[in-house]
Copies of this chain bind each other. A is one copy, B any other.
Amino acid sequence: MYAVELSTVTRKKTEAPVRERLSRETIADGAVALADAEGLDAVTIRRLASDQGVTPMALYWHFRDKERLIDGIVERLLADLVLPRRPETSSVPWHVQLREILDALLVVLRNHPAVAELVHTRILRSDPGLEITERTLGLLREAGFSAEQAAQLAIQALSTMVTLVASVPGKQVGEATDVQDQRLRAKRASLQALSPERYPYLLASADALTVCASEPEYIDLGLDLFIAGVRGVQPDLARK
């Protein structure tokens, strides 16, 4: 693991001859950029510090510990969230509005898929996260769900979106293209080597299980699936 990092990665310090001041924002931005480029594992305190041309301990003035730094990353990510305006008439069905809201979340997650998973446990720690949860809960209540059901569905909505972005088959951020090709080739081959008697369906879907032909299609299907699910479990009394 370390060996791979050492041999394939050249540490590009982004330090200017004279460094600009550190701040929570520049650190978090650096972390997002690093994750996008080399994957989440590359995001360490020491690496972030060295990229900024600064001692690891410098970061501790801005964040209490790594956990808070990660909170900062998520906050930075969700800051870009643009929620659709609340419609003025009540003519737009709740499930259409819910889809629009979740789509807005998907947009920011897909901008930085490497850090998407971090959002999972941290939605309620930022303003935009509170906002989107509030809107989601409102729509679910409108659909007839109880406060408790709405809470459970809202949590599942958000984590489904995160999982969706993080589970696109064949994708692994920060992997060199040749390594990725090699990995996928091996995976496909191991599936195609299976017994056709025991695993006919696996063989028929081997390609699609290995790599996603169309990422947008995959994501859209996941969103369709979730919305259809919520409509399917909607309390009968409120159905509309």
Contact = CB atoms under 8 A, between A and B. Distances in A.
Interface string A209-240: 10011000110011011111111110000000
B150 A201 contact: yes
Number of this chain's copies in the complex? 2
A201 B141 contact: yes
Contacts of A148: 205, 207-208, 213
A contact patch SS:
helix
A108 to B, nearest CB: 19
A100 interface: no
A226 B224 CA distance: 11
A151 interface: yes
A201 B156 contact: no
A60 interface: no
Contacts of A226: 225, 229
B233 A225 contact: yes
A226 B137 CA distance: 19
Interface residues of A, number: 58
Contacts of A194: 130
A163 interface: yes
Contacts of A232: 224-225, 227-229, 231-232
Interface of A: 1, 65-67, 120, 124, 130, 133-134, 137-138, 141, 147-156, 159-160, 163-164, 167, 169, 187, 190-191, 194, 198-202, 204-205, 207-209, 212-213, 217-218, 221-222, 224-233
16 contacts: A120-B167, A124-B191, A130-B202, A134-B201, A137-B205, A141-B201, A148-B207, A148-B208, A150-B201, A156-B221, A156-B222, A160-B163, A163-B163, A225-B226, A228-B228, A228-B232
Rank and list the top 5 A-B pairs by shortest CB-CB distance, nearest first: A228-B232, A229-B229, A151-B208, A137-B201, A151-B205
